[in-house]
Every structure is written in structure tokens, then in C-alpha cells.
């Protein structure tokens, strides 16, 4: 932990606003696995605590902005800011005004929503969205886990939009002495927080990794809080590669779901700049093991195809004449000459 800088007060005033995209897992099956009969009650409690957290986040900076995405087996749904469906009841002018509001919401400058209205709106929007998502899942017999990659990709698209608005704004207002606009326009000051109940799905591996690399390039930390009782390899790697935090709070249980608020407030409230000054939880281990592309089993050592870099377990690779993924023919090399060790 480093000592805070001397000009702390000046810096705090100059802190740029941030955009926080929250992804809430609403897969009914996953919550039932965790809490059994109390699934709805537990999720209700998690949402209440999340709303308190979001309101405290809004209080940190007058231009801090929030988007909430629900991840359900049917895909990702942006529930806040509330958007009406185009083409139906509203006139086009309303829609354009709304779009501008979203621009302002994601870029976080100039436009201020009515302070006393936002928490209520947020609450209504999230609760209505969750109810809707649960209703949609009711009919399905075996509902799948939520595809995290879809929600993550939508969240990153929102960050990309915020970033492009910000960079055009700052290029327009250059030279006007506007301190906030030319504040690091290259990297957007945003974060993504995932509240996840589902377990890792092997078919999600490639899309999730692609999202992680994109977030890494954009400088968006991926935070995650896991409610299930299994560690998530994907989310651990996401946090490690993007300087985020991945937590699976042991204290959280069906009997005592109210401990979540403490974790949210103490760990996930701090932004990227201030995390340097605090002792953030560090992972005990990050699972970088590969999974066999054929059998889906996790492997610690195995074979890699030199053309497509697919990984295979030893049993699959033995005697293979052709790559099962990219169908490249393997040359029959008796032995690869090893390079002499470096001095």
C-alpha cells in the first residue's frame, strides 16, 4: 500500500467521472442451484443491496453514470437507462431526445438527470426487468446458464460508444480550457461489474476470452462477484488480465445474504485510479490451465497444434495425423531438435 499523494484534495476534485456497467445474472436455474426454495428471496436481497451500492456510486461524482444489463438464458437485456422500443408508440422526437440522454449518460458530461428521480427510476427499471426475465424463463423445462459473453459484449459496446463520444467531445472542446474534456481521452474511465450465479460453460470459453482481451486493450477493469460455490476460471482470468477484482465471498449464504453490501461497498466502489492507493484483495491462484478442445477436460499438460494453437489432451493427440479443429496435416517428425539453453 502506497501513501496517498500530497495533492490528494486537488486530485479528488479533478477525478473524471466514470461509467459503471453492471451485469446481473438472472438465470433462474443457477439461483435455484444456489438457494433452493429461497431463490427468489435471495435474488431479491442481492438486488436491494446492489441498488444501495449503485446509489452510493452515484454519490461519488455528480457525473457518474450507470448502465444495468441483465444476463438471462435468452440473452442480454439493457434495463437501465430505460429505453422505449422504436417504431411503436413514441414519436421520433422523443426517441432522439432519449438517445441524446443516453449519450450523456454514457459519456458522463453536461447532462444531469434529476437527482431525486434517478434512484427511484433505477429501482423500478431493475425490478421490472428481473420480473420480466423470470417470467420468460418460467415455461422452459431445463433453462441453460446465462451466456455471460453476450452481456459482456454488449457492455463493451456501450463502453466503446462512451469512449468515442468522449473523444469527439474532447477534440471539439480543445483549446477552450476545459480541463475535464482533455483528461485522458485515450482510455475511457469505465468499469464492468458482474454479479454471477451461473457456472462456467465450456462453449463460452472462446467468446469470453475475446471479450477479456478487448477489455484489456480498452483499459476497462472487469470486476466480478461470484455467488455460486465454485470458482470461475474465466472470471479469475478476466480480473487478472484487466486489473480487476474477482471475489467469491465465503460469508455469503442463503441464510445470511445481507453481507454482500459490505463487500460491494468496500471492494467494488473504488475506481481504477484509487485502487493503487488501497490494499485490494489479491487472488491466491489464477487457473491458466487449458481445456482440451475435443473432450472439454481441463489439462495441465498436453499438445498444441502449431497452426491453430488448439489444445488437446495427450490421449487425443496420440497418433493423430490431422488436427481435429483446423484439419492441418501433421508432418511426421521423428524428433524436434532442441535449441541449446540460453546463457
Cβ proximity of 293 and 310 under 8 Å? yes
Q: Which helix (H) or strand (E) holds 225?
A: strand 222-226
Residues in contact with 285: Cβ distance below 8 Å, sequence separation at least 6, in sequence order? none
**Closer CB to another protein, 9 or 285, in the complex:** 285
User: Mask of contacts with another protein, 247-286, x by CB under 8 A?
Assistant: -----------------------------------xxxxx
Least Å distance between CB 161 and another protein? 4
What the block records as the C-alpha cell of 292 is: 482440451
The set of cell numbers assigned to 97 is: 431526445
Task: Return the residues of window 274-333 that contact Zn ion according to CB under 5 A.
Answer: 305, 307-308, 310, 323, 325-326
- Contact between 304 and another protein by CB under 8 A: the answer reads yes
Among 124, 217, 273, 278, binds another protein (CB under 8 A): 217
- What 326-329 contacts at long range (C-beta under 8 Å, 24+ apart), as own/partner pairs, is none
Count of Cβ atoms closer than 10 Å to residue 306 Cβ: 10
- Cα–Cα distance between 228 and 33 in angstroms, integer? 8
Closer residue to another protein in complex, CB, 2/338: 338
| Residue 309 contacts another protein per CB under 8 A | yes
* Residue choice 125, 218, 259, 269 for contact with another protein (CB under 8 A): 218
Half-sphere exposure of 235 (CA within 13 A, CB side): 26
201 to 148, 246, 289: CA distances (angstroms): 9, 18, 15
Q: If contact means CB under 5 to 8 A according to the sort of partner, which of another protein, Zn ion, none does residue 338 touch?
A: another protein
Among positions 100-159, residues that touch another protein (CB under 8 A) are 102, 147, 149-150, 153-154, 156-158
For another protein, which residue of 11, 131, 289, 296 counts as binding (CB under 8 A)?
289
| CA pair distance 201, 195, nearest whole angstrom | 16
Strand partners, 247: 225
Q: Choose which of 122, 211, 226, 247 interacts with another protein (CB under 8 A).
A: 211
Here's the x/- map for another protein, 68-107, by CB under 8 A: it reads as: -----xxxx-x----x-xxx----x--xx-xx--x-----
Sites of contact with Zn ion (CB under 5 A): 305, 307-308, 310, 323, 325-326
Amino acid at each position: 500500500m502506497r501513501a496517498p499523494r500530497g495533492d490528494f484534495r486537488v486530485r479528488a476534485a479533478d477525478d473524471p467521472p466514470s461509467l459503471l456497467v453492471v451485469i446481473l445474472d438472472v438465470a433462474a436455474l443457477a439461483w435455484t442451484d444456489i438457494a433452493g426454495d429461497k431463490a427468489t428471496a435471495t435474488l431479491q436481497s442481492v438486488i436491494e443491496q446492489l441498488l444501495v451500492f449503485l446509489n452510493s456510486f452515484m454519490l461519488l461524482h455528480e457525473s457518474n453514470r450507470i448502465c444495468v444489463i441483465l444476463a438471462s438464458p435468452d440473452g442480454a437485456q439493457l434495463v437501465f437507462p430505460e429505453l422505449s422500443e422504436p417504431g411503436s408508440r413514441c414519436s421520433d422526437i422523443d426517441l432522439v431526445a432519449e438517445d441524446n440522454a443516453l449519450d450523456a449518460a454514457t459519456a458522463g458530461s453536461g447532462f444531469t438527470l434529476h437527482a431525486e428521480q434517478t434512484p427511484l427510476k433505477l429501482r423500478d427499471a431493475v425490478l421490472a426487468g428481473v420480473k420480466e426475465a423470470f417470467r420468460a424463463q418460467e415455461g422452459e423445462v431445463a433453462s441453460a446458464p446465462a451466456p455471460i459473453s453476450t452481456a459482456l459484449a454488449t457492455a463493451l459496446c456501450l463502453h466503446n460508444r462512451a469512449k468515442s463520444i468522449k473523444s469527439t467531445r474532447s477534440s471539439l472542446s480543445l483549446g477552450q480550457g476545459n480541463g475535464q474534456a482533455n483528461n485522458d481521452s485515450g482510455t475511457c474511465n469505465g468499469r464492468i461489474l458482474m454479479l454471477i450465479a451461473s457456472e462456467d460453460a465450456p462453449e463460452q470459453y472462446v467468446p469470453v476470452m475475446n471479450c477479456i482481451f478487448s477489455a484489456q486493450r480498452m483499459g476497462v477493469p472487469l470486476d466480478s462477484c461470484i455467488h455460486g460455490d465454485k470458482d470461475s476460471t474465466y472470471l479469475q482470468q478476466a480480473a487478472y488480465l484487466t486489473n480487476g477484482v474477482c471475489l467469491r465471498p465465503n460469508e455469503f449464504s442463503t441464510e445470511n445474504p445481507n453481507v454482500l453490501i459490505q463487500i460491494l461497498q468496500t471492494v467494488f466502489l473504488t475506481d481504477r485510479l484509487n485502487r493503487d492507493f488501497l490494499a485490494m484483495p489479491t487472488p491466491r491462484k489464477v487457473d491458466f490451465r487449458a481445456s482440451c478442445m475435443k473432450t472439454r477436460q481441463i489439462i495441465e499438460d498436453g499438445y498444441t497444434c502449431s497452426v491453430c494453437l488448439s489444445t488437446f489432451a495427450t490421449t487425443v493427440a496420440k497418433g493423430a495425423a490431422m488436427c481435429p479443429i483446423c484439419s492441418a496435416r501433421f508432418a511426421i517428425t521423428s524428433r524436434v531438435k532442441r535449441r541449446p539453453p540460453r546463457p
